[in-house]
Amino acid sequence: MDLLDTTVVPEHAHEIKEDAREFAAEHIAPNAAEYYESGKYPWEILEDGMDAGLVAQDISEEYGGRGLDLHQILAIAEEFYRADAGIALTLQLASFGCAIVEEYGNEEQKEEYLRPVAENEQISGLAVSEPETGSDLAGMDTTAEKDGDEYVLNGEKYWIGNGVEAQWITVYAKTGDDPNNRYGNYSLFIVPTDTEGYDAEHIPEKMGFRASKQAHIEFNDARIPEENLIGTEGAGFYMVAEFFNHGRIIVGGHGLGLAAAAIEEAADFVHDRSAFGRNVSEFQAVQHILSDMRTEFTAARTLNWQAADHVANKDNAGYWAAMAKVKSTETANDCAERGMQLHGGRSVLTENRISRVYRDVRIPVIYEGANEIQRNLIYRQAQW
């Protein structure tokens, strides 16, 4: 059974997919249980991923990366997440936010900030969410006030991947206060994490994605030069919204990898287990559950890869990205739930892969925009 086969994957992503599969089998899967238990940041695996040319390589060749495109990053996501979601997120977040700098930044910013990430000397992050606001992008409170040739940042960010580990992060902050132009009040900035007034600490332990780390950041009069503004002041909301279209296709891949793991575990378990003098897989009710899991998985995967084409072609991207994210991440939840039931009592042993998957699937339905927000986007951007 090869659930993540290449049927829906375009030819140019096959090779990187194979590399990612081999890497996941050698470096991620065998270490998944240990990192889940310890909750440690997987530095060693991150470095192995860098050596394998699979980390931060979405940055273009011009700035030192491999220029991997959306389909190639999606292919890596499926393979990595099938092996372990927490380690996978850490590997995939090493260049989080860089695509924004590449798309909207100037030459100096790209040379100074993208190249070290592409060359794996630094890692980055993206800080949008706040302790009191996550879904409402036009409701964030962190401010960036202009003072001479600097911006002064004040406020808090929460859930920020690599907020402690990164050398710099892209920060979303309020630069205007026009109630009639809610979407024009925000801008994006490159903020080095050694800036005075930048303080970050890890948030408390999570039940899932244990090998990834998020931070609570406080900005107390953190001053950055005006050159660190990305693109135009007031355009931050639109830049982030565009960036999330790509991100949601990849998060769909997170769901697909997790769903594949759940199906594999469920199928293995019922084929190895007996009850009432029969193999559990012989019960028709069990076969129907496995059939439903595969049907939903195949539907989700087909949609996700089709949506990737639409997003890559900028063809109603927001609509397709939101649908892919909803379908793939919720399919992961359904598959994990059913996989748990098929494991009987053993489902709740924390050392078992199915119970890791069950805890992990709760997260992609939330990050990169909770699925309720995706449904709002689908409705608004659909033609009725």
Give me the residues that bind ligand FAD (CB under 6 A), please. Answer: 125-129, 133-135, 159-161, 209, 214, 363, 366-367, 369-370, 372-373, 376
Query: Closest distance between ligand FAD and the C-beta of residue 217, in Å?
Result: 10
Residues 2, 78: Cα–Cα separation, whole Å = 12
Q: Give me the least distance between CB of 22 and ligand FAD, in Å please.
A: 27
Give Cα separations from 321 to 162, 171, 212, 253 (angstroms). Answer: 24, 23, 24, 11
- Which of residues 92 and 175 has its CB atom nearest to ligand FAD in the complex? 92
Tell me the closest approach of the beta carbon of residue 313 to ligand FAD, in angstroms: 26
Count of beta carbons in the 10 Å neighbourhood of residue 12 = 12
- For residue 111, which amino acid is it? E
As measured in angstroms, the least distance from the Cβ of 120 to ligand FAD is 19
Question: CB of residue 126 vs ligand FAD: minimum separation in angstroms?
Answer: 5
Residue 40 or residue 346: which is nearer to ligand FAD going by CB? Answer: 40
Considering the complex, state which of residue 133 and residue 352 has its C-beta at the smaller distance from ligand FAD. 133
Residue with the closest Cβ to ligand FAD?
134
Contacts of 175 (CB under 8 A, 6+ apart): 143, 144, 145, 146, 151, 185, 186, 187, 233, 234, 236
Residue with smaller CB distance to ligand FAD, 162 or 281: 162
Q: Which is nearer to ligand FAD, 354 or 363 (CB)?
A: 363
User: What are the residue numbers of the active site?
Assistant: 368
* Residues in a beta bridge with 157: 217
Angle at 69 between CA 63 and CA 71, to 5 degrees: 165
Q: List, in order, residues 6 or more apart from 136 with CB less than 8 Å away.
A: none
- CA distance linking residue 98 with residue 59, whole number of Å: 7
CA torsion 160-230-225-162 (nearest 10°) is 20
